[in-house]
Structure 1
Amino acid sequence: MTANDFARKIRGREKLVGYWVTLDAPPATERIARLGYDYVVLDGQHGLIGYQGLLTGLLAIDAGAAIGSGETVGLVRVEANDPTPIGRALDAGAAGVIVPLIDTSDDVARAVQAAKYPPVGGRSFGPTRASLRIGPVPADSNAATVVLAMIETPLGLKNVAEICATPGLDGVYVGPSDLGLALGARFPGDPEIDGPFEEAVELIARTAAAAGIAAGIHTFDGDSAKRRLAQGYSFATVSSDLNHLEGIAAAHLDTARS
């Protein structure tokens, strides 16, 4: 799947399933990318990945896709809503960016401005690796580049309608841990806020659908991803490499000692 294909599917609100990577471990990322996920996200905000790790991670995703289904693209959750990390992630070959801590439509406009070349935006031209995937024509890159805004703060939830209506935004993405904390959770997954949390999750999906953009969400397992897709989300990301590594290692240890 090319970046253009992925952008078309996101904008068409097709059902997509992705995976989350937090470790700077390109051989592991390559193996994940060959499994057939529609996208793999490299976490540049909370992940243990620097810029070199993002670059090699994107190379690993392309390599894994080439020997697997050929249908997987790389995305980056950037560290901040700032032109430098957004531009560098895209220059390194990301098909799109997930931008954290979006509170208002002005925040979205800044993210779009950073991700798109003139006259649409203000991205500096230097597609060091991206030109190999999309081509050097700025208009082609603008058409193929996906911009996703995270809804995870009290203000972001309050302003979700105006955020979804911002020109240039392709979709919103729910960060469940931070959204839960914004709703008063004592810790991520606090069952005491299940009701308000589910109401917020449903509101975000409905609002995005009404605006004609995609709605995505991070989930902690395949069953949860399946449920969210059935609920109206158009894309869902499954857990992370570090969580799965620890969980499987602990399960095998328990089995061996039982």
Structure 2
Amino acid sequence: MGAAADFAARVRNREQVLGYWVVLNAPPATERIAGAGYDYVVLDAQHGLLGYTGLLHGLLAVDAAAATATAPHRPVGIVRVESGEPATIGHALDAGAGGVIVPLVSSPAEAAAVVAATRYPPAGVRSFGPMRSGLRIGPEPATSNDSVVVLAMIETAAGLAEVDAIAATPGLDGLYIGPNDLRLALGAPTPDDPAYDDALAEALAAVRGACDAAGIAAGIFTPSGEVAAQRLREGFTFVTVALDLVHLEQTVRAHLDVARGALGP
């Protein structure tokens, strides 16, 4: 079984998997991150600083790390696409993504359209032109259909209201929470307003419960290993630690603070 198919099976079995979030177009760094032991690496095509060439090179970097890794930690490249448009999803999959995380899914109809965009006919509407993906996922349509993971992001008030019906969408592998946007959707003036902690906790529980009922993966973005561990204990199964740009800045500042401690007054 290839890495993508193996990863898809783990996600569909609701095994807990850990990933990392990348926004920088820095393939050597992405390769090192992917080789650290994560199960997947998300390349952010919605808000990341990648571009399509950077996305392609990032997927190549993840695969380079996977070539020397052993199961079950052969990392798979996942793309958070810009939108649920079929062309956008197909573009990411053609570049070799093992799956997609699709933002702003707010209804069962939108979720069904997202699933269809990841599947070749007659199961879906994906145009056949596998390009690089044909080297590692497929190229037979049925093999690709079985190996590609698709998660819908719940980050709007409408999506939260319809979460049970969205989770029940045939072919959907999981729901993925964007906590910042979801907090804003709940009425918070900022993505980190603590006054909305309880409301967000209720929303997270509702999404997790919908995933449990549907038997699909419950995914969430987290800012740190500590928060990721908390979400795993809560029952989330697809947890991402984020992100390269922020962690780079945090590490740089931490080293600077230590070094400055040796300076005289």
TM over 0.5: yes
| Normalised TM-score (structure 1) | 0.98
Q: Which residue of 2 aligns with 1:44?
A: 45
Does the alignment pair 1:192 with 2:176? no
Specify the alignment match of 1:228 in structure 2. Answer: 231
After TM superposition, the runs of 4+ consecutive aligned structure 1 residues lying more than 4 A away are: none
Matched, 1:148 2:151: yes
Q: Where in structure 2 are the equivalents of 1:68-217 lying within 5 Å?
A: 68-69=69-70, 71-217=74-220
What are the superposed Cα offsets for residues 90-130 of structure 1, whole Å, 9 maximum, x if unpaired? 01110000000000011111111111000110100011011
| Separation in structure 1 between the aligned mates of residue 86 and residue 5 of structure 2, nearest angstrom | 22
Alignment-mate amino acid for residue 43 of structure 2: L
Give the distance between the partners of 1:18 and 1:136, measured in 2 at CA: 26
Match of 1:13 in 2: 14
Q: Root-mean-square deviation (CA), in Å?
A: 1.0
Q: Distance in 2 between matches of 1:100 and 1:166?
A: 16
Please tell me the residue identity of whatever aligns with 1:19.
Answer: Y
Among candidates 219, 222, 242, match of residue 219 of structure 1: 222
| 1:246 corresponding residue in structure 2 | 249
SS at match of 1:129: helix
SS in 1 for 2:111: helix
Q: Contact between 1:42 and 1:75, CA under 8 Å: does it hold in 2? A: yes
Identity over aligned pairs, percent: 59
Pair 1:64 & 2:75 matched: no
Gaps spanning 5+ residues in structure 1: where? none
Give how far 1:67 is off. 2.9
Larger Rg: 2
Matched letter for residue 108 of structure 2: S
Matched residue type, 1:235: F
The answer to whether the 8 Å contact 1:35/1:68 transfers is no
**TM superposition shift of 1:61:** 0.3
Q: CA deviation at 1:163?
A: 0.4
Counterpart-to-counterpart distance in 1, 2:102 and 2:238: 16
Structure 2 residue ranges without an equivalent (≥5): none
